Amino acid sequence: MFRVASRALRATKHRPTRLVEPARTFFVSAIRTEGLRLNSLDTFTEEENMFRDSVKRFAVDVVGPKVREMDEKESMDPTIIQGLFEQGLMGIETSVEHGGAEASFVSAIIAIEELAKIDPSVSVMCDVHNTLVNTILRTYGTKEQQDKWLPLLSESKLGSFCLSEPASGSDAFALQTRAKKDGDHWVINGSKMWITNSHEAEIFLIFANIDPSKGYKGITCFIATKDMGVQIAKKEEKLGIRASSTCTLNFDDLRVPAENIIGGEGKGYKLAIQILNEGRIGIAAQMLGLAQGAFDKAVPYTYQRTQFGQPIGTFQGMQFQIAKAAVELETARLLTYNAARRKEEGRSFTKEAAMAKYWASQVAQDVSGSAIEWCGGVGFTRETGIEKFWRDSKIGAIYEGTSNIQLQTIAKFIQQEYSR
């Protein structure tokens, strides 16, 4: 649906906005001189607004009715995955030529946020597939690789990003998975842990070291498919995002064609560093959407529930808590979309992405936890779904770089700036 609308809108020509001069002008800014305009961070293009509405309808109408069942079964409904592909949500930035929507990076962030308002499990599936798997192929893949794999990833095959291992979490480049050349193939041996989407995925980006003597400079990224022999050893039982599969993978003499190396031999660490910076904006959007979803469910209840002759939301103590949560939500939103816009503009965004992920994950825990308390006993039950938001929020401070790693990244930038 969105793919078609996106193409139609891009074909439409718009007249430039005419600036209205104020009654008194003390100076003429460079912005006005160049015919440009400064906008707030919550100003979006017509295409992005259309996209938000489309994703919201899908999330509410299609995902919403299945959230509790998927959470309790700890399994993603196949019709949800199919729906994501049919709606054009699995190739958001991918070119039309390769079956995608060819939309903006901000559109991807919008999709992740809107899905998370209803179910963070579905949101992270879309996030990893778009911001990690698709982006690596779009950015570093050869034309032949893009022509082969991007249409599949846009239209039918779920992707998985395989970096973490039992002994390499935050220290990601201490990985032990090895790959050895054998003719026109590479043979991969090792295991991966905490791999998102891995139970349903059919395409895997596997990071392995082809020359341990070079340390992290031997790390290389390979494309593999499940039918090549990727083994799912264990599916984790988790506190939150239960419908999102998280598995341990084993590779026993997994043979991958040499043509399936992405970015070149020994370049995997560069790919991972750059892509994870982008992925952290996606996690920030997921946490932002989660917090907003909890807020949207809990606040109306505070004006319906009456105690001592008045709605509990009108007591000053409750008003202050709700107001504080709204401020935290807004700050998380500004940090997230600032990082996204900077990335889209080609500016540095590593520090901003770290700030967004760190703060959005904190806000998600705070707001979802408060939402339970605002609703009292009702909020503690599974029936409302509010407690699920809190359970889902805990992962935000862990995956794609823990909160301490984000603080360390931010501190390094501050040190660089002030120790000159």
Q: Which sequence positions are flagged as catalytic? A: 400
SS3 category, 232: strand
Ramachandran sector of residue 253 (left: φ over 0; alpha: ψ -120 to 50; beta: rest):
left
| 96: number of Cβ within 10 Å | 14
| 338: number of Cβ within 10 Å | 17
Distances (CA, A) of 284 to 2, 68, 124, 262, 322: 23, 23, 11, 27, 21
Q: Are 268 and 102 in contact (CB under 8 A)?
A: no
Q: Are 71 and 112 in contact (CB under 8 A)?
A: no
Closest CA to 47 of 80, 14, 96, 85: 14
Distance CA 38, CA 48 (A): 18
Half-sphere exposure of residue 31, counting CA atoms within 13 Å on the CB side?
Answer: 4
Distance CA 142, CA 121 (A): 31
The single residue listed with the structure tokens 């790959």 is 179
Closest CA to 287 of 340, 351, 365: 365
Phi first, then psi: give them for residue 409, nearest 5 degrees.
-60, -45
Q: What is the CA radius of gyration of the chain?
A: 23
Distances (CA, A) of 55 to 204, 289, 291: 26, 12, 17
Q: Tokens representing 336? A: 């997230």
Distance CA 401, CA 365 (A): 17
Which distant-in-sequence residues (6+ apart) come within 8 Å of 408 by Cβ? none
Distance CA 250, CA 261 (A): 19
